[in-house]
């Protein structure tokens, strides 16, 4: 018998305790890592694969984005370093500027001046000499130029501006049948081989050389003290900004080409290529920027054949298009070329009639060159709309039009001066530009000329000068702006293109008047505004000037019309009159350190009171028209081949459509 088994050992429970001095669970990363790993192991294989694929995809996208952004910044940094080292390829025409200004392109880094805002007014064979007989082919190196960087640079913020003016003239703020359309048959884009300069002309004559000297003196001041800025302040040897787009430089491009100033042109061309950027937060006036910048770039393209200017023109034209986005399709006066925000002036919802009807030459030509119909369609819709409006007086139009309603405002006031002048000019010039096919433009122009004869034309005492006054609510005023002196040239141009012969007679009479507006002043320069004496009085001249109107802004209108009258009549007295005016500019407006200045008092030859501003149109228009006036070559920018925009930029007349 076996002995009894011993009782089972008692069951013991053990508790394991880990002692860690001074430590406890605090949510640290090591604890979380172990917890996350457990959760990861608990996922199925499919879930883990989906997560891994998503993470890999996100990392790949981030890597590609980094490469793209890094390349862009490297390109910008490379351009900045290169631009800082760049110097003009050619030396200045005049003696080298002071050492501090030896690199005018580097002036962009200078402390910016506060912009002063102005609201101003509102391919055939080229028989033109090359810049110099031994000059290189202007198209050489085009392949290299096309590859140049066209990056955008951030610019200084735009500032609020309050001065309201019309092409430099201060103006106080004041609270049917459609044209033939080319929409269906838009022309194909012309060949990239732009028209080339042919038939070099003879050397410039003595008077033309005097114009070249004046241009070089003005350009030397701009180059030394205002390079790359909008306008020169010659007295203070500084600059002023309006748009911050090198306005004087662009306005003068075609003038330099016509005058044969190759070095200056190439230096300016280099600035356009490397410095001119439109991606900037700044408001521009639609009208002024169109006639000066867009017109200047298109003209430079046609004369030089350099596609850089066409590319810049198309870029700028696209940035102006938001101005047309209004309820009535009548464009706003201002548009921000960086943001695309467009708006009317801050003091009204109106645009001026001249502003909205004097952009058509440029927009139509831009469409013809690029093949994009939107520019021409937007501009011509404005023309058709204005044609259909009531409120005219025998073809004369009011000065303002509302961008919301599309109707004329401030009814009953009619003038050919500020805010209406170029409406009449562009009726004729669009008709000429389009090959004389758009009869509605011609009819509107002819009606307007008859309206001028009936309502605005008078004769002064004692010399019986024919002048164009103004009409306000049925009351005539013997006031005439110097701006109206565009009219003799426009009338003569129309007569040259087959309009009635009495248009030329009126052109001659008005040309005499515009000359007297200069000659009867002690400085030989016309004031901004004159009043004519209507009644015989002892010791009274025909031309009277009020103290507030005695300034001269270096305007081109008189010499513009002198050019047309001499070119179309051959009467040399018009050349002599232009020579007198050039001499007066040299005597009373030339600044010794460089540049020309507008003056405040044309009646005081001892103290004409310089206003310290050289408008861009002095180089873009005044000197260009003087040079052409003194030329005896009718093929130098032939009036059968070109039409000048209102800023004197020549654009080609379209060839008539071929019959099929």
Q: Is 646 annotated as a binding residue?
A: yes
Q: Which pLDDT does position 538 carry in this prediction?
A: 81
Q: Which pLDDT does position 659 carry in this prediction?
A: 52
Q: 341 pLDDT exceeds 60?
A: yes
- Please tell me the pTM assigned to this model: 0.75
Q: What percent of the chain has pLDDT over 90?
A: 67
Q: How many CB atoms lie within 10 A of CB 649?
A: 32
pLDDT band, very low/low/confident/very high, at 264 (cuts 50, 70, 90): very high
As a dihedral over the C-alpha atoms of residue 636, residue 362, residue 169, residue 595, rounded to 10 degrees, the angle is -50
Q: Which pLDDT does position 8 carry in this prediction?
A: 60
Q: Which residues lie closer than 8 Å to 143 by C-beta, 6 or more apart?
A: none
Q: 43 pLDDT exceeds 80?
A: no
Q: Is position 40 within any domain?
A: no
- Higher local confidence (pLDDT), 236 or 18: 236
Token pair of 10, please?
A: 């008692």
Q: Which pLDDT does position 321 carry in this prediction?
A: 98
Mean pLDDT over 109-121 rounds to 40
Sort residue 364 into left (φ over 0), alpha (ψ -120 to 50) or beta.
Answer: alpha
Q: Which pLDDT does position 53 carry in this prediction?
A: 85
- Higher local confidence (pLDDT), 107 or 96: 107
Q: Is position 311 within any domain?
A: yes
Mean pLDDT over 531-555 rounds to 94
Q: Which pLDDT does position 49 carry in this prediction?
A: 84
Q: Which pLDDT does position 3 carry in this prediction?
A: 56
Q: What is the pLDDT of residues 547-558, one digit of tens each?
A: 999 999 999 999
Determine which one of 557, 615, 621, 647 is catalytic. 557
Q: Which pLDDT does position 12 carry in this prediction?
A: 55
| CB-based contact 543:606 (threshold 8 Å) | no
Question: Which is nearest to 288 in space by CA: 340, 326, 318, 251?
Answer: 251
- Higher local confidence (pLDDT), 630 or 16: 630
- 528 part of the active site: yes
- 152 part of the active site: no
Domain count, the chain: 1
Q: Which pLDDT does position 531 carry in this prediction?
A: 98
Q: 150 pLDDT exceeds 50?
A: no
Q: 165 pLDDT exceeds 90?
A: no
pLDDT band, very low/low/confident/very high, at 35 (cuts 50, 70, 90): low
| Element (DSSP H or E) covering residue 38 | helix 29-42
Q: Which residues lie closer than 8 Å to 57 by C-beta, 6 or more apart?
A: none
Q: Which pLDDT does position 47 carry in this prediction?
A: 80
Q: Which pLDDT does position 652 carry in this prediction?
A: 98
Q: What is the pLDDT of residues 442-466, one digit of tens each?
A: 999 999 999 999 999 999 999 999 9
Token pair of 255, please?
A: 């003038």
Please count the helices (runs of H) and the strands (runs of E) in the chain.
Answer: 21, 22
Cα 143 to its chain centre, rounded Å, is: 27
Q: Which pLDDT does position 54 carry in this prediction?
A: 85
| Element (DSSP H or E) covering residue 81 | helix 45-85
Mean pLDDT over 29-36 rounds to 50
3-state helix, strand and coil shares in percent for the chain, rounded to the nearest 5: 45, 10, 45
Given the structure tokens 């008709």, which residue do they identify? 431
Q: What percent of the chain has pLDDT over 70?
A: 73
Q: Is position 659 within any domain?
A: no
Q: Show the 3-state SS of 520-589.
A: CCCCCCCCCEEEECCCCCCCCCCEECCHHHCCECCCCHHHHHHHHHHHHHCCCHHHHHHHHHHHHHHHHC
| Element (DSSP H or E) covering residue 251 | helix 247-251
In a 13 Å sphere around the CA of 570, the CA atoms on its Cβ side amount to 2
Q: Is position 300 within any domain?
A: yes
In a 13 Å sphere around the CA of 100, the CA atoms on its Cβ side amount to 2
- Higher local confidence (pLDDT), 62 or 147: 62
Determine which one of 421, 481, 560, 621 is catalytic. 421
Q: Which pLDDT does position 37 carry in this prediction?
A: 67
- Poorest-pLDDT segment among 17-26, 50-59, 395-404, 509-518: 17-26
Token pair of 268, please?
A: 């300016």
| CB-based contact 433:497 (threshold 8 Å) | no
Mean pLDDT over 335-346 rounds to 96
Q: What is the mean pLDDT of the chain?
A: 82
Token pair of 305, please?
A: 């054949």
Q: Which pLDDT does position 549 carry in this prediction?
A: 98
CATH number at residue 405: 1.50.10.10
pLDDT band, very low/low/confident/very high, at 164 (cuts 50, 70, 90): very low
Q: Is position 48 within any domain?
A: no
Determine which one of 231, 264, 288, 362 is catalytic. 288
Partners of 165 in the beta sheet? 170
Determine which one of 264, 355, 377, 528 is catalytic. 528
Partners of 613 in the beta sheet? none
Mean pLDDT over 233-260 rounds to 98
Q: 118 pLDDT exceeds 90?
A: no
Q: Which pLDDT does position 10 carry in this prediction?
A: 58
Q: Is position 278 within any domain?
A: yes
Domain of residue 321: give its range: 112-147+158-652
Q: Which pLDDT does position 658 carry in this prediction?
A: 59
Q: Is position 414 within any domain?
A: yes
Question: Which is nearest to 469 in space by CA: 508, 510, 526, 500?
Answer: 510
Q: What is the pLDDT of residues 557-613, one digit of tens each?
A: 999 999 999 999 999 999 999 999 999 999 999 999 999 999 999 999 999 999 999
Q: 103 pLDDT exceeds 90?
A: no
Distance CA 63, CA 53 (A): 15
Q: Which pLDDT does position 71 carry in this prediction?
A: 52
| Element (DSSP H or E) covering residue 386 | helix 374-388
Mean pLDDT over 195-215 rounds to 78
| CB-based contact 246:229 (threshold 8 Å) | yes
Q: Is position 87 within any domain?
A: no
């Amino acid at each position: 018998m076996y002995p009894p088994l011993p009782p089972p050992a008692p069951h013991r429970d053990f508790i394991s305790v880990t002692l860690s001095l001074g430590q406890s669970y605090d949510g640290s990363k090591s604890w979380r890592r172990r917890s996350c790993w457990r959760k990861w192991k608990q996922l199925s294989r499919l879930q883990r694969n989906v997560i891994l694929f998503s993470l890999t995809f996100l990392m790949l996208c981030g890597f590609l984005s980094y490469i793209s952004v890094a390349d862009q910044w490297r390109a910008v940094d490379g351009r900045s370093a290169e631009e800082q080292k760049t110097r003009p390829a050619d030396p200045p025409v005049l003696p080298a500027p002071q050492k501090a200004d030896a690199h005018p392109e580097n002036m962009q880094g200078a402390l910016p001046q506060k912009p002063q805002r102005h609201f101003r007014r509102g391919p055939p064979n080229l028989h033109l000499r090359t810049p110099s007989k031994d000059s290189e082919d202007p198209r050489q190196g085009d392949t290299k130029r096309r590859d140049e960087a066209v990056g955008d640079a951030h610019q200084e913020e735009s500032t609020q501006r309050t001065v309201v003016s019309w092409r430099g003239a201060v103006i106080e703020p004041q609270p049917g049948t459609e044209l033939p359309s080319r929409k269906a048959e838009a022309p194909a884009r012309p060949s990239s081989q732009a028209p080339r300069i042919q038939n070099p002309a003879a050397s410039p004559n003595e008077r033309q050389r005097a114009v070249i000297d004046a241009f070089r003196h003005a350009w030397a001041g701009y180059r030394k003290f205002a390079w790359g800025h909008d306008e020169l302040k010659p007295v203070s040897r500084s600059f002023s900004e309006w748009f911050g787009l090198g306005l004087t430089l662009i306005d003068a491009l075609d003038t330099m080409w016509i005058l044969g100033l190759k070095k200056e042109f190439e230096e300016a061309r280099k600035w356009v290529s490397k410095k001119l950027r439109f991606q900037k937060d700044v408001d521009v006036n639609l009208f002024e920027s169109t006639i000066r910048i867009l017109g200047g770039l298109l003209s430079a393209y046609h004369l030089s054949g350099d596609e850089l200017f066409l590319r810049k023109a198309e870029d700028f034209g696209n940035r102006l298009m938001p101005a047309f986005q209004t309820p009535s399709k009548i464009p706003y006066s201002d548009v921000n070329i960086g943001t695309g925000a467009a708006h009317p002036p801050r003091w009204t919802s109106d645009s001026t009639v001249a502003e909205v009807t004097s952009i058509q030459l440029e927009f139509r030509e831009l469409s013809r060159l690029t093949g994009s119909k939107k520019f021409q369609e937007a501009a011509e819709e404005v023309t058709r709309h204005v044609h259909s409006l009531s409120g005219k007086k025998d073809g004369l139009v009011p000065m303002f039009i509302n961008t919301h309603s599309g109707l004329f405002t401030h009814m009953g006031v009619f003038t050919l001066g500020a805010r209406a002048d170029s409406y009449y000019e562009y009726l004729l010039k669009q008709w000429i530009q389009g090959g004389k096919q758009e009869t509605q433009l011609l009819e509107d122009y002819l009606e307007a000329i008859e309206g001028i004869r009936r309502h605005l034309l008078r004769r002064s005492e004692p010399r019986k000068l024919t002048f164009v006054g103004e009409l306000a609510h049925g009351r005539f005023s013997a006031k005439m702006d110097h701006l109206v002196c565009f009219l003799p040239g426009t009338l003569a141009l129309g007569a040259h293109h087959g309009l009635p012969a009495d248009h030329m007679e009126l052109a001659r009479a008005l040309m005499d008047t515009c000359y007297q507006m200069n000659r009867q002043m002690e400085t030989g320069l016309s004031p901004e505004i004159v009043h004519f004496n209507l009644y015989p009085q002892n010791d009274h001249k025909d031309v009277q000037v009020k103290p507030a109107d005695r300034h001269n802004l270096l305007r081109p209108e008189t010499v513009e019309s002198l050019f047309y009258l001499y070119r179309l009549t051959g009467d040399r007295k018009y050349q002599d009159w232009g020579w007198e005016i050039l001499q007066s500019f040299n005597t009373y407006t030339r600044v010794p350190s460089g540049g020309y200045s507008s003056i405040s008092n044309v009646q005081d030859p001892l103290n004409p009171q310089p206003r310290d501003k050289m408008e861009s149109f002095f180089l873009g228009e005044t000197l260009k028209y003087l040079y052409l006036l003194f030329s005896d070559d009718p093929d130098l920018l032939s009036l059968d081949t070109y039409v000048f925009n209102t800023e004197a930029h020549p654009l080609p007349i379209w060839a008539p459509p071929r019959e099929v």
